[in-house]
Amino acid sequence: MKDIMIETNRLILRKITNDDYKEIADILQDINVMYAWEKSFSDEEVQNWINQNLKRYDNEGYSYFLALNKEDNKVVGVMGPLIENIEGKEYIGVAYILNKNSWGYGYASEGVKACIDYVFNKLDVKKVIAEIRPNNVGSLKVAKRLNMKIEGSFIKMYDNKEMEHLIYSIDRGDYCKK
């Protein structure tokens, strides 16, 4: 398998391609998965999302990756490090969206931990953040499980809506102490 970026005990995270459209659409078009975004994506929005990630690979070298279960090669979701812009300042964040049928198996914690490792070890930054909607209870639990601490909140404009996001973070020193 080419373009593998991150590997864990159970997951392979590889770069997304246009050939992954159906699997990504299954995630982004499921309103039960996308509830925190308050919308599901149209076909055109899915393709734009893929194109945006392909551009990030060219510009930054990383973005959301397709997460595959090693055991059966099925898509678990998308996750990876991203450049996040909060009120004009750039941060390196970790983000993930899992298929609903992959919830509750620890894939988010396992994959996000590996993404944090990637950020600290490959990108050599001092702090990693996660932007999380206050109603996204599962993601809040993942951040806490990974020893991320809340450091504030901000309003993000998304799809012409003001959406509150909590900022969770962990710095290199605290992460390396674990």
Q: Give residue-wise pLDDT tens across range 9-40.
A: 999 999 999 999 999 999 999 999 998 888 99
Per-residue pLDDT, averaged over 68-85, amounts to 96
Q: Residue 166 has what pLDDT? A: 96
Please give the single-letter amino acid code of residue 125. V
Q: What are phi and psi of 146, to 5 degrees?
A: -95, 15
Supply the mean pLDDT for the chain: 93
Domain boundaries defined on the chain: 4-177
At 73 the pLDDT is 94
Sheet of strand 4-7, all strands in order from the earlier edge strand to the far edge: 4-7, 11-15, 65-69, 75-86, 89-98, 127-132, 161-171, 149-158
Lowest mean pLDDT of 24-33, 50-59, 157-166, name the range. 157-166
Q: What's the maximum distance between 2 C-alpha atoms anywhere in the chain?
A: 44
Residues paired with residue 13 on neighbouring β-strands, in sequence order: 6, 67
* pTM, rounded to two decimals: 0.93
- Please state, in angstroms and rounded to a whole number, the distance separating the CA atoms of residues 105 and 115: 17
- Mean pLDDT, residues 122-150: 94
Pairing type for strands 161-171 and 149-158 reads antiparallel
The predicted pLDDT at position 3 comes to: 81
- pLDDT > 90 fraction of the chain, expressed in percent and rounded: 85
CATH 3.40.630.30 correct for 4-177? yes
Q: What is residue 63's predicted lDDT score, i.e. its pLDDT?
A: 96
Distance CA 104, CA 99 (A): 11
